Amino acid sequence: MNVLVINAGSSSLKYQLLNMENESVMASGLVERIGDAKGVLTHKKMNGADEEKTVIERAIPNHKEGLHLVVDLITDPEKGVIKDKKEIYAIGHRVVQGGEQFNTSIRIDESIKQAIRDNNPLAPLHNPANLVGIEVAEELFPGTPNVAVFDTEFHQTMPPKAFLYGLPYEYYKELRIRRYGFHGTSHKYVAKKAASVIGKKLEDVNVITVHLGNGCSMAAVKKGKCIDTSMGMTPLAGVMMGTRSGDFDPAIIPYLVKHKGMNVHDLDDVFNKKSGLKGICGLNDMRDIHAKVEQGDEMARLALDMFVYRVKKYIGAYTAALGTLDIVAFTAGIGENDDIARKEICEDMEGLGILFDADKNKGRFASPQAIHKDGSKVQVWVIPTNEELQIAQDTVSTLS
Ligand code: AMP
């Protein structure tokens, strides 16, 4: 049973074809710069552990053309991985914003597309692009079921006390202003995996999932249900990120308008693209920041300190929210690869029951790795995320 996973952006289309019998990746790739004079398709066919890479550079005027090229590659008589596109059982689509309508993945029909469209105002950069991906897939794969898997669905179990803001209640009712949370497929996958690697059921443990990549978010998962998460109505809130601010006092907004003459677009641009690590030290990639710290750069050191401090604070807050904590699970680009950040976050947390093991922590991990000392009340793990596999699993379970 093969499942195609599609994550469509405004000018890109990421895909992965999985064999769900053994949950292995058959092929994956990325179509970029759709609509530009020169587009790029980078396709990888998996041969066991080896990758066979194909790069196509040419104008790719729209998503349909992009997906057409992908279909040609995966069904190519010599280079392909399947003979016919009919061998694809279903297509799973990452959809960013499911609002309050969707607390689970769902088979797509016209009414579901309309519901996704209704959420466009809440995710104006993402949902319209996700819809294009869905419509193109419907056109190129007639008769094949499409399933929407929402970034927000895992967080829909949050209670009102966690998802509401201290704003006039009618803003929630009229404008749907509330915390939704994002990276849901990652938090779900990582929480499940963390429970399974320690031989427990997810329903029997409390987990804090720490997704630290380009975007960073954390979730408090109590007995399998998300009870709080750090991102908000948009992916700007929470911990500090590469270029996004994370939490700050909203009164700063009118202050900036008054003193810097900034408008809505300027503010949006600064908070999303020029803040976070970049806003402090000019760099947003953790690898570059570590290199600067090594050279004694004080602003890079400050940026790293701020990043670490904020993650620590959320671990403390979520421990309190959960009541008891069993596992902290790190994931994504920084979480999986950055032993310095993990060490600085987990050090001096004995009071919360975390006995961190700096030796076990050393390195980058492509499979689950314990990084706590024997006898630690709270287990700390690196759990590589796999959002595509989670989307494919949810696609299969939705249809069965
Ligand atoms: P992601 O969004 O999950 O792909 O994560 C991307 C981020 O991971 C990059 O911006 C880097 O800051 C970080 N990253 C990737 N590899 C490393 C590494 N070896 N050490 C530190 N940070 C890394």
- Per-residue model confidence as pLDDT tens digits over 95-131: 999 999 999 999 999 999 999 999 999 999 899 999 9
Q: Cα separation of 23 and 2, whole Å?
A: 9
Element (H, E) at 153: none
Residue 364 C-alpha to ligand 1 middle, in angstroms? 11
SS3 17: strand
Task: Tell me what pLDDT residue 398 has.
Answer: 98
Helix, strand or coil, per DSSP, at residue 102: coil
Summarised one tens digit per residue, pLDDT across range 120-130 is: 999 998 999 99
Q: Which two tokens stand for residue 114?
A: 């309309």
* pLDDT computed for residue 48 by the predictor: 78
Best mutation site among 7, 240, 334 for ligand 1 pocket (most ligand atoms within 8 Å of CB)? 334
Nearest to 50 by CA among 21, 24, 76: 24
Q: Can you say whether residue 99 is alpha, beta or left, with left for phi > 0 and alpha for psi between -120 and 50 degrees?
A: left
Annotated catalytic residue, options 151, 228, 326, 338? 151
Work out the burial of residue 160: count CB atoms within 10 Å of its CB; fewer than 13 is exposed, 13-18 middle, 19 or more buried: exposed
Q: Give the C-alpha separation, 107 to 341, whole Å.
A: 40
Read off φ and ψ for residue 167, nearest 5 degrees: -120, 165
User: How far is it, in rounded angstroms, from Cα 195 to Cα 205?
Assistant: 7
For the Cβ of 338 lying below 6 angstroms from any atom of ligand 1, the answer is yes
Interhelix angle for 298-322 vs 339-346, to 10°? 50
What residues contact 251, with CB distance under 8 A and at least 6 apart?
Answer: none
**Lookup result for tokens 């419509």:** 135
**379 CA to centre of ligand 1 in angstroms:** 23
Per-residue model confidence (pLDDT) at position 17 = 97
Give the CA dihedral 46, 47, 50, 52, nearest 10 degrees: -60
The residues of the chain scoring below 50 in pLDDT are none
Beta carbons within 10 angstroms of residue 33's beta carbon? 16
Helix (H) or strand (E) holding 26: strand 24-32
pLDDT tens digits, one per residue of 256-306: 999 999 999 999 999 999 999 999 999 999 999 999 999 999 999 999 999
Domain ranges of the chain: 2-150, 200-387
Tell the residue nearest (CA) to atom 19 of ligand 1.
337
Q: What is the pTM of this model?
A: 0.96
Q: Is 151 a catalytic residue?
A: yes
What is d(CA 164, CA 167) in angstroms, rounded to the nearest whole number? 8
How far away, in angstroms, is 244 Cα from ligand 1 center?
Answer: 15
- The CB of 287 under 6 Å from ligand 1? The reply is yes
CA dihedral 248, 249, 250, 254 (to 10 degrees): -110
334 close to ligand 1 (CB < 6 Angstrom): yes
Q: Domain 200-387 sits in which CATH superfamily?
A: ATPase, nucleotide binding domain (3.30.420.40)
Q: Whole-angstrom Cα distance, residue 93 to residue 105?
A: 10
Sheet of strand 225-229: strand arrangement? 225-229, 216-222, 206-212, 327-331, 379-382, 369-370
Q: Each residue of 371-387: pLDDT tens digit?
A: 999 999 999 999 999 99
pLDDT computed for residue 47 by the predictor: 83
pLDDT at residue 2, as a whole number:
98
Which run of H or E residues covers position 115? helix 110-118
Q: Which atom of ligand 1 is nearest to the CA of 341?
A: 21
Return the structure tokens found at 301. 């050191």
Q: Which of 7, 214, 365 for mutating ligand 1's site (highest number of atoms within 8 Å of CB)?
A: 214
Any ligand 1 atom below 6 A from CB of 366: no
Helix residue ranges, H only, the chain = 63-74, 110-118, 127-140, 160-163, 169-175, 184-197, 252-260, 264-273, 276-281, 286-294, 298-322, 332-337, 339-346, 358-361, 387-399
Distance CA 310, CA 157 (A): 24
- Cβ-Cβ contacts under 8 Å for 174 (sequence gap 6 or more): none
Amino acid in position 245? S
Question: Could you write out the DSSP letters of every residue in 29-87?
Answer: EEEESTTSSSEEEEEEEEETTEEEEEEEEE---SHHHHHHHHHHHHT-TTT-S-S-GGG
Among the listed residues 35, 92, 25, 37, the one whose alpha carbon sits nearest the alpha carbon of residue 66: 35
> What tokens appear for 49 in the block?
């552990």
319 φ, ψ (degrees, to nearest 5): -65, -45
Q: Which fold has domain 2-150?
A: Nucleotidyltransferase; domain 5 (3.30.420)
Write down the pLDDT at residue 149: 98
Ligand 1 midpoint to CA 199 (Å): 29
Q: Count helices and strands (H / E) in the chain.
A: 15, 14
